[in-house]
Amino acid sequence: MKTELPKRILALDGGGIRGALTLGFLEKIETILREREGNPHLLLCDYFDLIGGTSTGAIIAAGLSIGMSAGDIKELYLNIGDKIFGEKYSFFKHPVKRMKAAYSFEPLERALAEVFGNITMGGDEIKTGLCVVTKRADTLSTWPILNHPKGKYFKYNKNMLLRQVVRASAAAPSYFMAQQIDVGDNQIATFVDGGVSLANNPGLQLFLIATLKEFPYRWRLGEDNLSLVSIGTGTYTKRYDAKKIAGKNLLGWAQMIPELFMEDANYLNQTILQYLSNSPTARRIDSEILDLKDDLLTEKPALHYVRYNVLLEENELNGLGLNFNQKQLESLRKMDEAKNKNTLYDIGSRAAARFIKPEHII
């Protein structure tokens, strides 16, 4: 009797320039799969049935979905990182724009246009299931924009330019201006970064999309039926000076909003997905509930789930053979320090070599 292959999902977090860290994990996964399948040209879009991402993860997910290799994505990302976070608005030359965003959106839009051209969400150029997570600011709703032809809103989604959808997902408040898109039915919608939602880590969102009956996939539950690989962009233990936080002004709070959302989103997603699975990569959520190894929400695991991320902390990085002082660590943790792109990629590569095991990828 022929055994049906599990449905496979790849979920990519947001995190600004720290997305470079993700690339090391993707290259390792691609290498494992190519060796396993005996196919040196295998692409991640050939293996995963659904690839989704938020913000910087959406850029990478979209690239993978159109048939770019992990190496192609690396070259692209390391090339455009300086451009995306390189052109700041000046208070003197662009006072109105600078009050709305820190960086010009034009370099990002040019880079996306070069890669995705006029590909639409319904275009045949997209070779696998794709989900781009963004936030519709004018309705306060999280939008997972799908390319599935049986999706409820595909008749509207299919004509959206992929580059505009990705740009919408990456429009981090205070970093870039919002993106407006014609979403059909005589509506112009305003979108901001998908990270300003519970889906900056889109793993749980993609699990719901894959299994809930109101979405078009309706894949079967079970660790032999459904596999989810989730990749982060680095995290760290956050603790700020209480007096300084209390004294923040409006701009200070606005700049901190993405971080506040991403921290909660990340741990909520991890908690629920570890609660639904016997994850071989389960990490401690916090000092109270630990890693949930002794907890399972359902009678049997609902999915096979692995999560790869790196703690941007001295101890973990030392374990990877790296040594950074406190000033360097603080710089690596920022989402807009483009100068760190190559270092972040190196961290991701080292972490992938240490943490990813072939048996994790089913």
Reported as a single tens digit per residue, the pLDDT across 173-214 is 667 777 888 888 888 988 887 877 888 899 999 999 999 999
How many Cβ atoms from other residues are within 10 Å of residue 314's Cβ?
15
Residue 98, pLDDT score: 53
Question: Hey, which residues are catalytic here?
Answer: 55, 193
pTM higher than 0.85 for the full model? yes
Residue 174, pLDDT score: 60
Residue 99, pLDDT score: 52
pLDDT digits (tens, 9 = 90+) for 293-349: 999 999 999 999 999 999 999 999 999 999 999 999 999 998 888 899 999 999 999
Q: Are 54 and 169 in contact (CB under 8 A)?
A: yes
Q: Which of the residues in the chain have pLDDT under 50? A: 1-2, 89-92, 94-97
Integer angstrom CA distances of residue 151 from 10, 130, 160: 19, 12, 14
Q: Are 158 and 120 in contact (CB under 8 A)?
A: yes
Residue 179, pLDDT score: 82
Q: How far apart are CA 35 and CA 193, in angstroms?
A: 36
Composition of the chain by helix, strand, coil, percent to 5: 45, 15, 40
Residue 252, pLDDT score: 81
What letter would DSSP give residue 276?
T
Integer angstrom CA distances of residue 287 from 234, 290, 291, 311, 360: 19, 6, 9, 16, 26
Domains and CATH numbers, the chain: 7-360 (3.40.1090.10)
> H/E element holding 267?
helix 250-275
Residue 345, pLDDT score: 96
Q: How far apart are CA 150 and CA 148, in angstroms?
A: 5
Q: How far apart are CA 140 and CA 334, in angstroms?
A: 26
Residue 314, pLDDT score: 93
